[in-house]
Amino acid sequence: MTKGVLLIGYGTRTGNLEKILGRQLERLNARGRERVYLGYYRVSEPSIGEALRRMASDGIDDVLAIPYYIAEGRLTYELIPRSMGVSIGGNGETVVGGRRMRISMSPAFGMTRTLFNILCDRIAESGCGKDAGMLIVGHGSRDVGSSNKAIIEMNAERLRKAGYSHVAYAFNEFDDPPIKEALSGLAAEGVGEVVVLPLFIATGVHLCEDVAEKIGIPKYSSGGDVEVDGRRISVKYMRPVEDDPRLLELIDSEISDFYGD
């Protein structure tokens, strides 16, 4: 069987996801990784179906699908597998362009300590110390099977264990606590600075507009001064995880196991 890899992103109209995955693909190609393709669940091109058709026409019949996602959930368990023509869980066989293809799916980044290490780098970039407020922001989900909230909570606990004095977490939507409530909690602890750490893959409308507005900083900014419950706080709004090379190492390790390096 001829093996190939499909790197899957959610898709975007306004964010930098396509650039992120494009850079990761270039890095994999530079390492000599062959037969690696990109596909998107929605909006961006090529779609997952288009990418699979391209793979089938190139003679590939054994596919490793790697989701470039923070958390597991209905998207990774059900919707993406459905778009590939396989059952829930993402492992099975499908027929694309007359070619029978075996598909297996890797997990999202999930609980890996790599995400925590990236957050710590963002804190270092902020120039703030361990006495500043740290606010991890997740997307949130209506999906009861999503691991998003557990991942956010775990990384907040990791920061506390690392010696950070004022740690909170919040969600843009669907889950609690909301961002304003978390900021109020940090203000009540007396912090004068808050480092906002988005545990998102990429920038886009959610981070640049929705979350920024809820924090109280200008849209498409890297922070600013806000007033929370009568207290003035300096906010430093950091980048999401994007194309961090350590995420590439996780992906390359999956590919190495798949190709039998």
Q: What is the pLDDT of residue 184?
A: 98
Q: Which domains does the chain have, with CATH numbers?
A: 3-108 (3.40.50.1400), 113-237 (3.40.50.1400)
pTM of the full structure: 0.96
Q: Tokens 């997952």 identify what position? A: 48
82: left (phi over 0), alpha (psi -120 to 50) or beta: alpha
Q: What is the pLDDT of residue 31?
A: 98
CB 103 within 8 A of CB 42: no
CB 12 within 8 A of CB 256: no
CA atoms within 13 A on the CB side of 10: 20
Distance CA 22, CA 38 (A): 8
Distance CA 217, CA 231 (A): 15
Distances (CA, A) of 126 to 23, 129, 222, 232: 24, 9, 10, 18
| H/E segment holding residue 170 | strand 166-171
Tens-binned pLDDT, residue by residue, of the chain (261 aa):
999 999 999 999 999 999 999 999 999 999 999 999 999 999 999 999 999 999 999 999 999 999 999 999 999 999 999 999 999 999 999 999 999 999 999 999 999 999 999 999 999 999 999 999 999 999 999 998 899 999 999 999 999 999 999 999 999 999 999 999 999 999 999 999 999 999 999 999 999 999 999 999 999 999 999 999 999 999 999 999 999 999 999 999 999 999 998
Q: What is the pLDDT of residue 196?
A: 98
Provide the token pair at 102.
Answer: 């075996």
